[in-house]
Amino acid sequence: MRFADRAYEMQFSPIRKFNPIAIKAKEMGKKVYHLNIGQPDVETPDCFMDAIKAYNDEVIRYAESGGVTELQDAVSAYYKQYGMDYGRDDMIVTNGGSEALTMTFLSLINPGEEIIMAEPFYTNYHTFLTSAGGKIAPVTTKAENGFSYATREQIEPLINEKTRAISCISPGNPTGNVLTLDEMRLICEIAKEHDIFVIADEVYREFAYDDRELTSFGMLPEYADRVIIIDSVSKRYSACGARIGLVISKNKDFMSMIMKMAQARLCVSTVDQVGSAGLFKLPASYYEKVKAEYCGRRDVVYEEMMKIPGVICQKPGGSFYMTVKLPVDSVEDFLVFMLEEFDDNGETVMFAPAEGFYATPGLGKDEIRIAYVLNQKEMKRGAELIRLGIEAYNKKLGK
Q: Which of residues 35-64 bind a copy of itself (CB under 8 A)?
A: 37, 39-44, 48-49, 52-53, 55, 58-63
Which residue, 59 or 284, has its beta carbon nearer to a copy of itself? Answer: 59
Distance CA 140, CA 138 (A): 6
Of 215 and 249, CB closest to a copy of itself: 249
Separation of alpha carbons 86 and 73, rounded Å = 9
- Tell me which of 4, 29, 309, 398 binds a copy of itself, using CB under 8 A: 4
Q: Which is nearer to a copy of itself, 118 or 258 (CB)?
A: 258
Residue 37 or 392 with smaller CB distance to a copy of itself: 37
Instruction: Report how far residue 361's alpha carbon sits from residue 358's, in angstroms, rounded to the nearest whole number.
Output: 7
Does 269 interact with a copy of itself (rule: CB under 8 A)? yes
Q: Which range binds a copy of itself by CB under 8 A, 141-149, 248-256, 357-365, 377-385? A: 248-256
Determine which residue in the list 190, 261, 308, 385 makes contact with a copy of itself, applying CB under 8 A: 261
**Secondary structure (3-state) at 320:** coil
- The radius of gyration of the chain's CA atoms, rounded to the nearest angstrom, is 21
**For residues 35 and 323, what is the distance between their CA atoms, to the nearest angstrom?**
12
| Peptide bond between residue 309 and the one before it cis (omega within 30 degrees of 0) | no
Span near a copy of itself by CB under 8 A; candidates 9-17, 25-33, 69-77, 147-155: 9-17
**Closest separation in Å from C-beta 276 to a copy of itself:** 10
Calculate the CA dihedral of residues 19, 24, 29, 31 and round it to 10 degrees. -20
Choose the binding region for a copy of itself from 69-77, 81-89, 182-190, 269-277 (rule: CB under 8 A): 269-277
- DSSP letters, 85-107, are ---GGGEEEEEHHHHHHHHHHHH
| Residue 162 Cα distances to 6, 100, 119, 150, 222, angstroms | 19, 22, 19, 20, 25
Interface with a copy of itself (CB under 8 A), residue from 201, 231, 272, 378: 272
295 in contact with a copy of itself (CB under 8 A): no
The reply on whether position 397 binds a copy of itself by CB under 8 A is no
Output 325 or 369, the one with its CB closest to a copy of itself: 369
Helix (H, G, I), strand (E, B) or coil at 61: coil
Instruction: Pick the binder of a copy of itself from 51, 79, 215, 226 (CB under 8 A).
Output: 226
Task: Name the residue nearer to a copy of itself (CB basis): 11 or 394.
Answer: 11
Nearer CB in complex with a copy of itself: 90/272: 272
- Residue 261 C-beta: closest distance to a copy of itself, Å: 6
Smallest gap from residue 310 Cβ to a copy of itself (A) = 32
**Residues recorded for the chain:** 399
For residue 369, the minimal CB distance to a copy of itself (Å) is 15
Strand 244-249 relative to strand 227-232: parallel, antiparallel, unpaired? antiparallel
Q: Give the Cβ contact number of residue 48 at 10 Å.
A: 24
**Which residues contact residue 285 at a Cβ distance below 8 angstroms, ignoring those fewer than 6 apart?**
none
Q: Is 375 in the site for a copy of itself (CB under 8 A)?
A: no
Site for a copy of itself in 108-167 (CB under 8 A): 108-111, 113, 124, 126-128, 131-133
What's the closest the beta carbon of residue 353 comes to a copy of itself, in angstroms? 15
For a copy of itself, the binding residues in 181-200 under the rule CB under 8 A are 195, 197
Q: Which residues contact 13 (CB under 8 A, 6 or more apart)?
A: 123, 124, 127, 356
Residue number with CB closer to a copy of itself (11 or 376)? 11
* Rounded Cα distance, 60 and 77, in Å: 26
367-371/352-353 β-pairing: antiparallel
Window 74-113: residues binding a copy of itself (CB under 8 A): 95-96, 98-99, 102, 106-111, 113
Give the span between the Cα atoms of 345 and 357, in whole angstroms: 32
- How many CA atoms does the CB half-sphere of 283 hold within 13 Å? 2
Among 25, 137, 239, 313, binds a copy of itself (CB under 8 A): 239
**Could you tell me if 101 and 232 are in contact, meaning their C-beta atoms sit under 8 angstroms apart?**
no
Q: How far is CA 324 from CA 139, 343, 357, in A?
A: 18, 21, 12
Q: For residue 376, state whether it binds a copy of itself (rule: CB under 8 A).
A: no
- Among 69, 148, 270, 394, contact with a copy of itself (rule: CB under 8 A): 270
**Taking contact as CB under 8 A, which single stretch among the options 136-144, 234-242, 281-289, 292-300 is the one that binds a copy of itself?**
234-242
